[in-house]
Structure 1
Amino acid sequence: MVPLTKRKRRLCVMALVGIAALLALTGCAPEGTAAADAAREFHQALSGSEWSAACSMLASDTREKTAREQESSCEDHLRNLHVQEPGTVTRTEVYGRGAFVEFENDAVFLAAAEGGWKITAAGCTPNGDAPYTCEVGGK
């Protein structure tokens, strides 16, 4: 093994730090972007009256709960919602296997699933100190 000079050692350390920083940044950005994209796609399906597509974007528990609570199909429930246009994304947070996407006029909660992010709650509005009130998947 060839000994490294002080300068070469410093350059190696700087390169490793740079690579680690790049990996950290690229590791975080796609997750948040993918979650925000899934939330946008859900709202696009709603605004396009694509009820089956919107239901397929829901987590299975949320889809079942939505149909059970309304004693109708998921599609019928979404059809009868009055979710306003979300506006632009103002904040995205990814925490483990969960994500939160805040729009100007809505908030969406998501969970990581096989094949991408699934909606666990949407049409959500802040409720003071209490949890959010949601039209889909929440109370």
Structure 2
Amino acid sequence: MGIRATVVVCLALVATALITTGCASAEGTSVTSTAERFLSAAGEGRGGQACLLLAPEAARSLDDCEKQIVSVGLRAGVVRGVDVWGDEARVWVDGDTLFLHRFPDGWRVRAAGCEPRPDQSHTGQPYECEVNT
């Protein structure tokens, strides 16, 4: 392969990486926006709005979603990190971890108020969550 062909292949790989990063970044922005809106609504006592951002199973897991979601003590905070794996995502916020799932109408919160378990060997679940599907 000549120098010219090598340069073309390298440019194609860089372009592919940039496009992939751009898509991941766009997904991260959408996930972050959903998490921030959810935490803001729950923290400000707008239980109805917070419940609309929950995955259906998570909302059903609460006896009275609108009241219980505000009593959990969730608060908005600075987003410290976002991981997106296909239709699943994890968001780290000051003092909280949220898990989201992508539904046809957008991202919804599957679990919130999650803290890492120090010893998960007996449960196989690395987080304990206040709201969970």
Band the TM-score falls in, shorter-chain normalisation: 0.7 to 0.9
In the alignment, structure 1 residue 132 sits paired with structure 2 residue 122: no
In 1, Cα distance between equivalents of 2:43 and 2:61: 22
Matched residue SS, 1:92: strand
Count of aligned pairs between the two proteins = 128
**CA positional deviation for 1:80:** 2.3
The counterpart of 1:54, out of the listed 50, 54, 74, is 50
Percent sequence identity over matched residues?
29
Matched residue SS, 1:66: coil
1:38-77 correspondence to structure 2 within 5 Å: 38-67=34-63, 73-77=64-68
Alignment correspondent of 1:80: 71
**CA positional deviation for 1:15:** 3.1
> Alpha carbon RMSD of aligned pairs, Å?
2.0
Cα displacement string for residues 12-36 of structure 1 (whole angstroms, at most 9, x for unaligned residues):
3233223212112112111122112
Gaps of 5+ in 2: 121-125
Structure number with bigger Rg: 1
In 1, Cα distance between equivalents of 2:31 and 2:109: 9
* TM-score calculated relative to the size of structure 2: 0.84
Gaps of 5+ in 1: 1-5, 68-72
**CA positional deviation for 1:137:** 1.5
> AA paired with 1:41?
R
| C-alpha contact 2:43 2:73 (8 A) present in aligned 1 | no
* TM-score calculated relative to the size of structure 1: 0.81
